Structure 1
Amino acid sequence: MTFLISEQAIRTFNHEWGLKDGQYVRIYAKYVGGGNEAFSIGINVSADPMDPVLVEAIGGYQFFVEKSDEWILKDTRLKIDSNEDGIVLNVE
């Protein structure tokens, strides 16, 4: 599992989300409904790591994944970007 965070996303976290330097950003599995695609990726900026499997410093922020959420990102690359609609997540 790797993260690729664009400079535009870092600016959005800073200017629109008001994140402070060094703040933790949790990447997690969130339930979105039934069917084949019942889970998606979420972002939480008000959580601190409890049992992280990965913590990576990018653009002044500490992105992390808890062990309980590792399954959704295992063997993937997560791209976090930003556009006129806000933060955009793409899993490859």
Structure 2
Amino acid sequence: MEIGLSTAAIQWFKDEVELKKGDKVRFYVKIYGSSPVQEGFSLAFTVDNEPIDMGVKTEKEGLTFFIEGSDLWFFNGHDLFVDYNKQVDELEFSYTLSGK
């Protein structure tokens, strides 16, 4: 499993969340909502500088983006890609089968 982020998404995190070099963002599972990979669950994020069991991570521009090992089930064999949609002014999560 991999985490990818567009340049626009990284800039959004810097501007809107005011992240600075060394900060860590954890993507985690919410029990409500919907996603293409899990019905009844969706994805959210928080700034979290104390990972418990980092399952997967990627580092971009001095920032670490990660998912705890206990949340990897949500992805069901998919990679995560995070983009920023300027038209609706929000992040978008997309999922592709790992290795594709």
The alignment's TM-score, normalised by the length of structure 2, stands at: 0.79
RMSD of equivalent CA atoms: 1.9
Structure 1 residue 58: deviation in Å?
1.9
AA aligned to 2:5 is: I
Q: Where in structure 2 are there 5+ consecutive unaligned residues?
A: none
Post-superposition shift, 1:68? 1.0
Structure 1 portions without partners, runs of 5+? none
Q: Name the residue aligned to 2:55.
A: 53
1:73 partnered with 2:75 = yes
**Structure 1 vs Structure 2: percent identity of aligned residues?**
34
Deviation at 1:56, TM superposition (A): 2.0
Q: Which residue of 2 aligns with 1:8?
A: 8
TM-score by length of 1: 0.85
Deviation at 1:74, TM superposition (A): 4.2
1:55 Cα deviation (Å)?
2.5
